[in-house]
Amino acid sequence: MSRFMKNWVVGIFTLTLILTVVTAEAEAFQVHKLEKSYEAWLCLQKYTIRGIYYQPLPDEGKPLLVLVHGATYGKWMWEVPGYSWADYFVAQHGYPVLAIDCLGYGESSHPNGDILIPRLQGAFSEAVSPPDQAGG
């Protein structure tokens, strides 16, 4: 075996070992999933925003990350098998995460589309607070 091949094999082995150690350290948090719902009022009607709260264990007091989907998606888009943002932020980095279904999407309320302007979506987003403060 040539010197180049030996160095290449040693380099690949070292890289594999480093990636294995980094991956093992990155999975330092267990994930506890909770279904959550938040109530908000608009035009004398109550609407519900539903989401999933991912709590890292142990909790290191990191700030809550709220994942809000785009048009035609839902909270499911953050946990696609093989490519999970929820897993990335929670299991690997220890951030608590709340992934919500915006009004008119998924399991949240589906009010008349005429009232779903960006300003009102923002008002409903303010109704979502960290689960330990929401009481819900």
64 part of a folded domain? yes
Q: Which residues contact 118 (CB under 8 A, 6 or more apart)?
A: none
44 part of a folded domain? yes
Q: Is the peptide bond before 111 cis (omega within 30 degrees of 0)?
A: no
7 part of a folded domain? no
Two tokens, residue 29 = 């948090």
Written as one letter, the residue type at 109 is S
Number of compact structural domains in the chain = 1
When mean pLDDT is compared across 25-29, 41-45, 78-82, 95-99, the lowest value belongs to: 25-29
40 part of a folded domain? yes
Beta bridge partners of 46: 41
Res 103 pLDDT > 90? no
* CA atoms of 86 and 90, how far apart (whole Å): 6
pLDDT at 56: 92
User: Domain range holding 99?
Assistant: 29-134
20 part of a folded domain? no
128 part of a folded domain? yes
pLDDT tens-place string over residues 38-94: 887 777 788 888 999 999 998 898 999 988 888 888 888 888 888 888 888 998 999
37 part of a folded domain? yes
91 part of a folded domain? yes
Residue matched to tokens 């160095």: 7
CATH number at residue 121: 3.40.50.1820
The sign of the dihedral angle between the CA atoms of 32, 80, 37, 89 is: positive
Structural element, H or E, at residue 31:
strand 30-42
